[in-house]
Amino acid sequence: MAESMPVRCPACRREHLYAAPSYPCVCGAPVSPPLDPRGTPTTVTHRAWDDGWITLRCGACTRENQWPYPELGCTCGAVLRIAVAETSSGAAAEGAASAGAEAVPERDASVETGPAPERNASAETGPAPERDASTETGLAPQRDASAGAGRDGRRRAFQPIAIRTARDAVTVAALYLRWLGYQDIRRADQRPPSGIGLAARGLLAQVDPTVRPASERDVECLWLTAMTESSRCVYFSLAGYADPARHRADSLGIPLFVLDLTGTPQPVNTLADELDATGAQA
């Protein structure tokens, strides 16, 4: 099980019990960041892309990969960055500091497939030097806006991408949203308490690549953020949803999808079935 420890918010002094998130390595073993019980959490006041990632080594196969830095949203509104102990690779606090925002997708792709940086994006868009630097996927939304439509106006079958890393899960969610007809996919301005936020025109999406089922609080936080932006919302989870989360999503009108490892989003509730069938124009 992932380790947990008490965390005190430096802003309001509330104490929380924080459990380190687990992520699925390509070998199938869970990977969790090693928490530092003697460290002090810091309040995130300015978010930079490079600071949001941490290099972790899988204890089973020794592969290294980039994962989201552990953070916790306090009830007072503060976002806390949890202290992490030195990892065996010596890169616990470095995240992705050696690369700029536009290079982030290529760096993760090369971990799995070698030096070919366009692995995830080339099948859909081909190389694009001017790719949107604000999205985790590196895909060019302007060229994919009609990717889901064939010449007869009908949507082609969705082309999945096998999910082997957290970045793959985000890529699949972005491709699926474009297949539904949403345009201008980008990284959301506000980072959710867990997972990765994606935004499109009139839509806010949350992608949770952890091996923990999404909770009722996760669903409610997404809905509240979407309400402030007057947007619809949708949730993608790799590990599914707790029963209270599913019931709450139904009452709030949130489509829920599970990302299977083949890279195909599977509808969980009726709202997701309707979105899958009708697309973004519904």
Q: Is residue 102 part of a domain?
A: no
For 130, the token pair is 């001017």
First to last CA, the chain: 41
Q: Are residues 179 and 64 in the same domain?
A: no
Whole-number pLDDT of residue 268:
93
**Dihedrals φ, ψ of 56, to 5°?**
-125, 145
* b/e code 181-202 from CB counts within 10 Å (16+ = b): bbbebbbbeebbbbbbbbbbee
CA-to-CA dists, residue 94 to 30, 49, 69, 90, 99, angstroms: 21, 12, 10, 9, 11
pLDDT single digits (tens) 5-40: 888 888 888 888 888 777 777 787 888 888 888 888
Whole-number pLDDT of residue 274:
94
Q: Is residue 205 part of a domain?
A: yes
Q: Is residue 134 part of a domain?
A: yes
Indicate the pTM of the whole model: 0.53
Q: Are residues 146 and 75 in the same domain?
A: no
In DSSP terms, which residues pair with 55 in a beta bridge? 66
Q: d(Cα 243, Cα 269) in Å, to the nearest integer? A: 12
CB 275 within 8 A of CB 173: no
CA-to-CA dists, residue 39 to 42, 84, 129, 263, 274, angstroms: 9, 7, 40, 37, 47
194: containing domain: 117-281
Q: Which amino acid is at 131?
A: R
- Which H or E run includes 221? helix 216-228
Helix/strand/coil for 184: coil
Query: Cβ-count burial of 270 within 10 angstroms (0-12 exposed, 13-18 middle, 19+ buried)?
Result: exposed
Out of 81, 101, 126, pick the residue that ends a domain: 81
Give me the half-sphere count of Cα atoms (radius 13 Å) on the Cβ side of residue 150.
6
Number of domain units in the chain: 2
Q: Is residue 33 part of a domain?
A: yes
Give the DSSP letter of residue 60. Answer: T
Whole-number pLDDT of residue 99:
32
- Tens-digit pLDDT string for the chain (282 aa): 456 788 888 888 888 888 877 777 778 788 888 888 888 888 877 766 567 778 888 888 988 887 778 888 777 777 888 888 875 444 333 333 333 333 333 334 333 434 444 444 333 444 433 333 333 444 433 334 344 554 445 678 888 888 888 888 899 999 999 999 998 888 888 778 788 999 998 899 999 988 888 999 999 999 999 998 889 999 999 888 999 999 999 999 999 999 988 888 999 999 999 999 998 864
Q: Which amino acid is at 106?
A: E
The packing angle between helices 166-180 and 104-113, to 10°, is 120
Whole-number pLDDT of residue 153:
55
Whole-number pLDDT of residue 48:
65
Give the DSSP letter of residue 50. Answer: G
Q: Is residue 42 part of a domain?
A: yes
Q: Are residues 70 and 167 in the same domain?
A: no
Q: Is residue 8 part of a domain?
A: yes
pLDDT single digits (tens) 137-167: 444 333 343 445 544 456 788 888 888 888 8
Sign of the four-CA dihedral 127, 128, 133, 134: negative
Q: Are residues 205 and 123 in the same domain?
A: yes
Q: Are residues 150 and 215 in the same domain?
A: yes
**Dihedrals φ, ψ of 238, to 5°?**
-80, -30
For 126, the token pair is 């081909």
Q: Are residues 209 and 139 in the same domain?
A: yes
Cβ neighbours around 74 below 10 Å, total: 21
CA-to-CA dists, residue 272 to 91, 128, 256, angstroms: 39, 32, 6
Q: Is residue 216 part of a domain?
A: yes
Q: Residues near 175 by Cβ (< 8 Å), separated by ≥ 6? A: 124, 137, 139, 144, 147, 158, 159, 161
Q: Is residue 108 part of a domain?
A: no
